[in-house]
Amino acid sequence: MALLTVEQFLKDKAEELQLELIAGKAGLSREISGTELNRPGLALGGFFDSFRNERIQVVGRGENAYIMQVALKGNQESLRAFFKFKMPCVVLTHHLRPRPEIISLANECGVPLILCGLETAVLVAELSMYLEEKLSPTLTMHSVLVDVYGMGVLITGDSGIGKSECALELIKRSHMLVADDVVLLQHLPGGILTGRPANDMLQHHMEVRGLGIIDVKQLFGMSAILNQSRVELVIHLEMWDENKEYDRIGLEDHSVEILGMSVPRIVMPVRPGRNIAILIEVSALHQRMKARGINTAFEVQQNLLKATAPDRETAPVPVKPRALATHRRRHFRRR
């Protein structure tokens, strides 16, 4: 998880969220460690059971009205106890400027006090998305990410196997490049795995052996690039090994774990004569069919078993892929 301070938060979002620091400058180095926000409510009145002080505190119209009333009565003990907690910062929405006593308390306790020009609901939505993007776990991977038929396909493999060349062919076939060489993967809340370029300076660029650095945006236009995509399929390229048995049927599904998420994975052997770009296109379409409950390999298996055993009273029993391959070859020889 990346380190995020209040100072960095203000640099990133001050203009977009209409933020203004009015007190507590000494606490700008405080760390924001969670993606959730807190409405203090009862804590402002001195009730601190289950108070989540480690979160950003968002103060709306109701909380601010109470604070103003307490400040006018001169009873600030509950507010002083509130500001004594170590919290990242306090954000007041609707640009509600507090009384001088509250500003003094924030400065005294070193709690950044921030004004926001947005409504509370809008701020909560925007700030939650920002924190999720900043604080969700990330991983950099040597790979290429391409959007194929609306599905994010992560192409992995050893250096020099042809990942970039394969991605270039996919771009020529009207698919979109997300990132080349180094992909920044991120696990967002809700079980979403996304990928984007790890280096913004090299965004939309590719390194192709023999050509050097090419600008995909300039060469192929805006329709050939995408800033970010979900990762829904991993294609691993490897040199064809005659001693290794590759999947010929497709009954068994394989996956790889990335940042705690299981992602479907296909091992694609590479050798002269194989058009890997077309195979990746078909893999993406096939994966979409599987996600909708359509499994061609299983249907073929059932049809073959029914055709060779029409008098069997019980339902066909699934067999292992290797046994099915032998069974299929014998069946077609008889025909």
Residue 11 annotated in active site: no
Residue 215 annotated in active site: no
Q: How far lies 244's CA from each of 160, 234, 239, in Å?
A: 21, 20, 11
Each residue's pLDDT tens digit, 5-39: 999 999 999 999 999 999 999 999 999 998 999 99
Confidence of residue 333 (pLDDT cuts 50, 70, 90): very low
Cβ atoms of 183 and 140 within 8 Å: the answer is: yes
Nearest to 151 by CA among 37, 282, 324, 45: 282
Nearest to 149 by CA among 276, 284, 283: 284
Mean pLDDT across the stretch 203-226?
93
> Choosing from 11, 84, 86, 142, which is the catalytic residue?
142
* Domains, the chain, with CATH or none: 6-135 (3.40.1390.20), 138-291 (3.40.50.300), 296-334 (no CATH)
Q: Round to whole Å and give the CA distance between 62 and 169.
A: 58
Place of tokens 């907690």: 85
- List, in sequence order, every residue forming a beta bridge with 90; answer none if it has no partner: 57, 113
Nearest to 200 by CA among 170, 228, 223, 174: 228
- Whether the predicted pLDDT of 303 surpasses 90: no
- Whether the predicted pLDDT of 158 surpasses 90: yes
- pLDDT of res. 313: 55
- pLDDT of res. 299: 86
Each residue's pLDDT tens digit, 232-290: 999 999 999 888 888 777 778 899 999 999 999 999 999 888 899 999 999 999 999 98
> Choosing from 248, 312, 320, 330, which is the catalytic residue?
248
> Choosing from 163, 175, 187, 196, which is the catalytic residue?
163
Element housing 151 (H / E):
strand 151-157
Report the percentage of the chain scoring pLDDT > 90: 65
Place of tokens 């940042």: 259
Mean pLDDT across the stretch 114-124?
95
Q: Round to whole Å and give the CA distance between 162 and 156.
A: 10
> Choosing from 12, 181, 247, 286, which is the catalytic residue?
181
- pLDDT of res. 3: 83
Q: Round to whole Å and give the CA distance between 221 and 224.
A: 6
- Whether the predicted pLDDT of 1 surpasses 90: no
Our CA dihedral for 159, 162, 163, 166, rounded to 10 degrees, sits at 180
- pLDDT of res. 318: 55
Residue 217 annotated in active site: no
Where does 14-99 have alpha helices with state H? Answer: 61-73, 77-84
More confident site: 71 or 246: 246
Indicate the pTM of the whole model.
0.77
Residue 248 annotated in active site: yes
- pLDDT of res. 310: 62
